[in-house]
Amino acid sequence: MTPRPSERRPRLRQRSRRLWLPLSITAFLLALVSLDASAAVLRHANAIGRRCSPAEASPGGGHLKPRIAIVSLSDDGESIAGSVAGGRRRSSSFKGLMETVEGNKRKYAARMGYDFIDARGLLDRSRPPSWSKILAVRSHLRYYDWVFWNDADTLVTNPDVSLESILFGVIGHGDFDVSPDLIVTEDFNGVNAGVFFVRRSEWSERFLDTWWNQTSFVQFGSTKSGDNAALKHLLGRLPSEESRAHVGVAPSQCLFNSYPWLPTWKSAYRLISSPWTTWKGAYSDGDFMVHLAGLDDKKRWIANILQDLVEKSVGHAI
């Protein structure tokens, strides 16, 4: 005798309820595995054919070597980065950061014939510390052809890459006197103010002054301090002709501002929503510079990356 429908349905429902749990656990585990797989693939992006620069850059060719300063800034152990300002918990993870990255930068600069400048004396305490990068760049620009600004949560991860080759990769030729004045990278949010180049010129000086003057963007007590938003605002407002002449955007973020890709749901969402941006910006072995933008526990990150570089025997120059 076949059971009446009223008797069968509850059993079916029970069975599907029993299936629901293992199925969702399986889906969850699969997603976890593919997060880890994505992280592994992105970490080896360069080995599987990603190019951060259009040319295997060798500027060379009779031009004078430009005078370049790498400038960074820290506030008595509380180092500067776009996302430090305010937020006790966050800024505490910045404590002592400069000390852990300074050796790396100095060694690279000495090897390549650049100056490294810790501009902490220029800190303006009336604003979140991140804003002082503008003052730091502005005041050292007059002594150099180029200033390369680094937030303190960055490390040189491939010391064989020269800054000239990076400039070459953006400008497309080796005559650095005929070049955009501001060289930046773009991430998911557009232009990033954590790492950039400025060329000594009247345009640059005026631009930096204008940037500093964007006081309405100054933000206290948030993870953002407003300097990056102000930069984006100014660049967005430039007439296209001026923008073309004075602002150079790196063809790939990984040319000099790579972010570690963490297997998190947020990263997964970004990977799906903007795969190309993720691909071009994820930190991979061989990249010139890693930037721990928005990450907590930066000191541990830095220790791990340095250790990793030593093990891969890039360490001799790190």
Which residues are near ligand NAG by CB under 6 A? 206, 209-210, 213
Q: Which of 288, 228, 298 is nearest to 258 (CA)?
A: 288
H or E stretch including 143?
A: none
Task: Tell the smallest beta-carbon distance from residue 213 to ligand NAG (Å).
Answer: 4
> Between residues 209 and 296, which has the closer beta carbon with respect to ligand NAG?
209
CB-nearer residue toward ligand NAG: 210 or 216: 210
Looking at residue 259, what DSSP letter applies? B
Identity of the residue, 98 or 198, whose beta carbon is nearer to ligand NAG in the bound complex: 198
**CA-only gyration radius of the chain, Å:** 23
Residue of 128, 101, 132 whose CA lies nearest to 223: 128
Q: How far is the CB of 195 from ligand NAG (least distance, A)?
A: 24
Kindly state the smallest distance separating residue 211's Cβ from ligand NAG, in Å. 9
Beta strands in the chain (DSSP E): 68-72, 74-75, 78-79, 115-118, 146-150, 154-156, 182-187, 190-199, 247-249, 289-291
Task: Return the number of the residue (124 or 308) whose C-beta is nearest ligand NAG.
Answer: 124
Minimum Å gap between C-beta 124 and ligand NAG is 14
Distance of alpha carbon 21 from alpha carbon 4, whole angstroms? 28
In one-letter notation, the amino acid at residue 226 is G
Cα separation, 271 vs 277, whole angstroms: 8
- Complex with ligand NAG: residue 211 or 288, whichever CB lies closer: 211
3-class DSSP state of 190:
strand
* Calpha distance 70→66 (Å, rounded): 13
Closest approach of ligand NAG to the CB of residue 210, in Å: 4
Please state the closest distance from residue 204 (CB atom) to ligand NAG, in A: 11
Nearer to ligand NAG, 207 or 261 (CB): 207
